[in-house]
Structure 1
Amino acid sequence: MFPSSLRRRDLGAAALGGLTGGLTAASPAWSQRAAAAVAPPAADVVLAARHRRVFAGLAARIDAQLTDVQSVVVQHRGQPAFDWFRSGTTADTLHDVQSVTKSVLALLFGQAMADGLVRGPDELVALRLPAMLRLGADARVQRLRFAHLLTMTAGWPPDEIARPGRDDDLRWLVRRPFVAEPGTRFAYDNGAANLLALGLAQAVGEPLANYARRRLFQPLGIGRLAWRRGAQGHALGAIGLSLTTPAMARLGELVLHEGQWQGRSLVPRAYVQDLARRHSSGGPPLSTAYGYLWWLGAGSVMASGYGGQWIHVDPALDLVVALTSRRTPESAARGQGATLIRRDIVPAVRRLQRAGQ
C-alpha cells in the first residue's frame, strides 16, 4: 500500500510542470489490486470501447502539438488503453531512456535480494567491493550502505554529468570528496548509481546486463534491449539502458503489482513497497520526494530520464504510462511528456473512474 504520507502530500514540483500536484489523494492497497480477478472478455471489450472514447483525438494532438514526444503506451486496469508512435518509430524501436536506467537498477537490486545474492539495502557496499577500501578514499566510504546509494544520500555532491572515461572507474567514484555524512542529505548523483551498479554486478557474479536479461527482462517477456558499458567494460547504473516503450510499460506494471508478475514473484513485495516509500524530500532535478531510485508524487511513482523519458505508475487509477521524447535541452525545458501525462492521460482515466466504469 502507498504510505499515507505519500498519498496526502502535494509535491507539485515546477520541474514537473505540476505533474504530481493534480493526482488523486487516496490509493487502495496494491495487494488487493494484484489479487483482483481478471475481467471477463466481455468486460474487456467494454473497457476498450471506453478507452477509445476518452482518448479520442489524443493521437492527433500529440502529432501536431507535442512534437517532442516520440512514443506513448498507456495500460489501464491491466489492459492496453492507448498507444501512439511518431512516424519512423514503432513498438520495437529502442529508445535511450537515460536515467530511467537508475529505476531499473533499483528493481534489479530487489531481484538480487530474491535470489539471495544480497542481504538487503542495509548491507555495506564495501562487503561487495572491498577494493574501495584500499584506494585512499575518505573513511566515510567504509560506512556506505546500499541504502545510501538507492536513496541518493551517499554524501557526495550532486552530479548529473556523464563522464565516459570515468563512469565505471571505481577509483574515481570513491575518491570524490564528500560534502555530507552518508544518509543525511539527498543529492542526485550519477556516481552513486554507477557505484551501485558495480557493487551489484560483483554480488551477482556476472555482468549486470546478463543477469538483468536472465532474471528480470526475460521473465517479463522483454527480449529487445541494450545496455551501454563504461570505459572499464561495466554496465552503467546512472544511464545506458535502451528499451522499447512497451518494455517500459511492463516494468511499470511490475511496480504497480508490487513485484508480482503473472502469478510469480520477481521482486520481493516488501522491497517494492519500500521502493515506493518516501525516504527523503528529494531535490533537483525534479524537486519531489524520492524512494529507491524512483521519484514519488502525490500517489504516484515515477522513473524519469533526461529530455522526457517516463514510466508513470498510479496505483489509485490502476494506471501505467510509458513515454519517450527527443533527448535535447529544449525538450527537457518544454516538458511535453509531463504535460501529456498531467493534462491529458491522467484526467481521461480519472473520468472513467469517477463514472464508476
Structure 2
Amino acid sequence: MFERFFDDVSAAGIELHGAQITYQGKPVLKRCFDADIPYPVYSATKSVTAAAVLMAHSENKINIADKLYIYLNSKYTDIISEPFKDLSFRDFMTMSAAPYPFRPQEAAALIDNPDNDDWLANILRLPVDYGDRSFHYSNIPAYLVGAACENAVGMNLMDYLSPRLFEPLGWGRPVFQLSPEGHFYGATGMELTVSQLSDLGQLFMQDGNWHGDQIIPPSLIHKATSPLVKTEKGGYGYFFWTTDTTFAISGKWGQRCVACPEKQLSVTYLSHQPERSGELADIAQRFIEEFPK
C-alpha cells in the first residue's frame, strides 16, 4: 500500500529526486532516483526557523507573544514605525503582519536611498499597510523573525541550532544562506536530503520528541502545526501549512514533507517541478488522506 504514492507520481509523469514514506516512527519505503544528496528546499527553510523560535521560547529567551521590534538591533530604533511596534512574533510567523513584497531584496526598489547591504533597514522603511492583517505569504516575515531570534539568543541561528536540533537528529551542518548584514536568511536558502526533511517532519509529528529526548515542548509543536489563520489552501501555523488533520513543510518547486499525526504517517519528497509542484502536493495529500487508519 505504500507503493501507491510512487505509482501515482509515476502515472502522472512527474520526476522526483527522491522520496521517503515514514509510518509509525520508521521509514518504510525510500527511493532516490538521483543521488541521495542535499538539494535546495527553498521555503521549507521557514520551518527550520520556526523550530529555532520554539526552542528560544522554551528557553525563555523570547516569548512568541512578544513584540518583535524589541529584539532588533538598537541601531534601527529611529526607523521603526509605530504600527510595526505593534506586531508580535506570532503575527510574522503566521504571515499576518502586513502585505510585504515577496523577497527582502525587493524592498530596495520601493524606497528612497536604499542600502543594498542592509535588507533589514530597507524593510523597516517600506510604506506598507500595517492595517491589513490578513494572510500575505512572503519571505520577509521569516527573515525578520530569524534576525530577531538571533539577537535574542546571541548567536547565528545555525550555531544555535547545531547542538539543539541538527546534532540530535544526526545531521551535519546544512548549507544555508545569509543576508548581506550577516543574518540567517530564515525564509529560504537551505539544502537538505530527503531523509533530513523527513526527520524534521517526524520530529514535529512526534510532539517534539526524538528517541526519548524532548527537543521542543509538545504544546509548542501543537500550536505551530495547527491552522492558526485561514488561507486559500487551508490554514497556516507557525511557518507550517496546515489542514485540520495534516501539516506540511513546503518548498517552492516540489520539496515537501506532509504529515498526519493521527495516522503517524508522512510522505517526504524532493523534486524540481516549477510547473507541477501543486499537482505533486495533491498526490501526496490524497495518499495521506486515503491511507487507512
Report the TM-score range of the alignment, normalised by the length of the smaller protein.
0.7 to 0.9
2:30 pairs with 83, 103, 106, which one? 83
Which residue of structure 1 aligns with residue 202 of structure 2?
253
Which residue of structure 2 aligns with residue 289 of structure 1?
235
1:56 deviation in Å? Answer: 4.2
Normalised TM-score (structure 1): 0.73
1:316 has 2:262 as partner: yes
C-alpha separation between the residues in 2 aligned to 1:221 and 1:129? 32
Which residue of structure 2 aligns with residue 152 of structure 1?
95
1:71 has 2:18 as partner: yes
1:331 has 2:276 as partner: yes
Which residues of 2 match residues 93-104 of structure 1 at below 5 A? 93-104=37-48
| Structure 2 residue identity aligned to 1:197 | G
| Structure 1 residue identity aligned to 2:126 | R
Which residues of 2 match residues 1-357 of structure 1 at below 5 A? 54-56=1-3, 59=6, 62=9, 65-86=12-33, 88-90=34-36, 93-118=37-62, 120-131=63-74, 133-155=76-98, 157-161=99-103, 163=105, 169-181=119-131, 184-223=133-172, 225-283=174-232, 287-328=233-274, 330-332=275-277, 335-344=278-287, 346-347=289-290, 349-350=291-292, 353=293
* Closer/same/farther in 2, CA of residues 82 and 336 from structure 1, 3 Å limit: farther
C-alpha separation between the residues in 1 aligned to 2:4 and 2:134? 45
1:159 deviation in Å? Answer: 3.1
* Closer/same/farther in 2, CA of residues 68 and 198 from structure 1, 3 Å limit: same
Residue deviations 1:173-218 (CA, integer Å, cap 9, x gap): 2222231337x32211211110101001111111111112221111
1:345 deviation in Å? Answer: 5.5
Equivalent pairs counted in the alignment come to: 285
| Structure 2 residue identity aligned to 1:301 | F
Contact kept in structure 1, 2:258 and 2:285, CA below 8 Å: no
* Closer/same/farther in 2, CA of residues 79 and 267 from structure 1, 3 Å limit: same
Residue deviations 1:123-180 (CA, integer Å, cap 9, x gap): 121221143752424321222211111111112x143346398696210122222313
Aligned CA-pair RMSD:
2.4
C-alpha separation between the residues in 2 aligned to 1:132 and 1:197? 17
> Relative to structure 2, which stretch is displaced further, 237-246 or 227-236?
227-236
C-alpha separation between the residues in 2 aligned to 1:57 and 1:293? 29
Contact kept in structure 2, 1:310 and 1:337, CA below 8 Å: no
1:103 deviation in Å? Answer: 1.3
| Structure 1 residue identity aligned to 2:234 | T
> Which structure 1 residue ranges, 5 or more long, are not aligned?
1-53
Contact kept in structure 2, 1:255 and 1:272, CA below 8 Å: yes
State percent identity of aligned pairs.
26
> Relative to structure 2, which stretch is displaced further, 205-214 or 65-74?
65-74
SS in 2 for 1:163: helix
SS in 1 for 2:257: strand
| Structure 1 residue identity aligned to 2:263 | L
1:343 deviation in Å? Answer: 4.2
Residue deviations 1:257-301 (CA, integer Å, cap 9, x gap): 111111111111111111122221124xxx321111111113001
Contact kept in structure 1, 2:94 and 2:229, CA below 8 Å: yes
* Closer/same/farther in 2, CA of residues 132 and 178 from structure 1, 3 Å limit: farther
C-alpha separation between the residues in 1 aligned to 2:164 and 2:148? 17
C-alpha separation between the residues in 2 aligned to 1:242 and 1:186? 27
Mark the structure with the bigger radius of gyration. Answer: 1
| Structure 1 residue identity aligned to 2:58 | A
1:62 deviation in Å? Answer: 4.2
| Structure 1 residue identity aligned to 2:101 | D
Contact kept in structure 1, 2:104 and 2:119, CA below 8 Å: no
Which residue of structure 1 aligns with residue 113 of structure 2?
none
SS in 2 for 1:219: helix
Normalised TM-score (structure 2): 0.88
C-alpha separation between the residues in 2 aligned to 1:321 and 1:158? 31
